[in-house]
Amino acid sequence: MHDSDHFPPVPLTIEGSSILHQMLRVRWREWRALNQSRRDEIVGQASAIAGLLESDGSGLFSLLGHKGDLMMVHFRKCFDEIGEVERSLTRLALWDYLEQTTSYLSVVELGLYESTAQVYASLAEREVAPRSPEWNKEIEETLARQRQAMQPRLYPEVPPHKYLCFYPMDRRRGEQKNWYQLPMAERQRQMQDHGAIGRRYAGTVKQIISGSIGFDDWEWGVDLFADDPLVFKRLIYEMRFDEVSAVYALFGSFYVGQRTPAAQLGKLLQV
C-alpha cells in the first residue's frame, strides 16, 4: 500500500497563454486641450494599432467605476510577446495622454489534482522514488498528455462576451487556517466542490484562471466573461459560501469592463 503522506505536496499544473491586464486612466485635461484635428489623428493611429492587437489576441474594455477608464487584456503565447505588446503601446501618441493605474501579469493555469493523485499513487505502488529519473519521466509524460488534451483551454481566445470581471486572489495563510498545510487529498476535495459551482454557470459565463505566483502580487488571476454582468455577482456570491472560498480565499480589487471593439476607441475618447 502507498502512503500519501510521502507524496510531494505540490499538485501538478500545466500552463498556457501569458496574460497581461492593463488598467488605464485618460488624462482628460491634457486630452481636451488638444484641437479636434490632433485628437482625430491620435485616435486614428491608436485605433489602427489596437485593431492589430485585437486580431492577435487582445481585448479592449471600457472600465466601469473610478478605477480607470480603459482596460486592455492581452493573451499571447509567451512573455516575449507580452513585452512586444507593451512596447507597441508606449510608442503610440495616445500613450502620452494615458496613465497606467495598475497592471497584472499571469499565465493560464490548469490544476491537475486528479491526475496528480493518480500518477503519484501509481508510482508509489511500484515503489518508484520521488524525483528519481523514472519518477520524473512518468510525470513529464503525464503533463505532456494533459497539455495535448487541454490545448484549447490552455490557449484560449479572448471570449466575445459583452462584459469582463477580473480580480486577483490568494489562498489564506494564517495562524489557524493555512491552505498550503492541508493534505493534497483534502485540497483536491475542496477544489472539486468549488469547481462544481462554476460548472453550473457554464452556459452563461466563461471563466479563465491564471497563475501569478512569482509574477505578480497575488497568486491567481480570475477572468469572468458574460453578457449579463449580474452573473458575476451571483456566481461569486454563491462561491463565497463554498468551503474553499469561505475559509481560505482572499480577494483583491475587482475590475468590471464593457467590451469595446478597437474601431470604437474614438467613442470612448470623445470630449
Amino acid of residue 151? Q
- Quickly list DSSP for 217-246: SSSEEEEEEESSTHHHHHHHHHHHTSHHHH
- Catalytic, out of 167, 201, 248, 255: 167
Alpha helices of the chain — where are they, by DSSP H? 28-32, 36-55, 79-90, 113-125, 133-149, 151-154, 184-200, 230-240, 243-248, 265-268
Helix (H, G, I), strand (E, B) or coil at 182: coil
- Residue 127 CA to residue 105 CA, distance in Å, equals 40
In contact, 42 and 50? CB cutoff 8 Å = no
Q: 167 catalytic, yes or no?
A: yes
**Residues identified as active-site:** 167
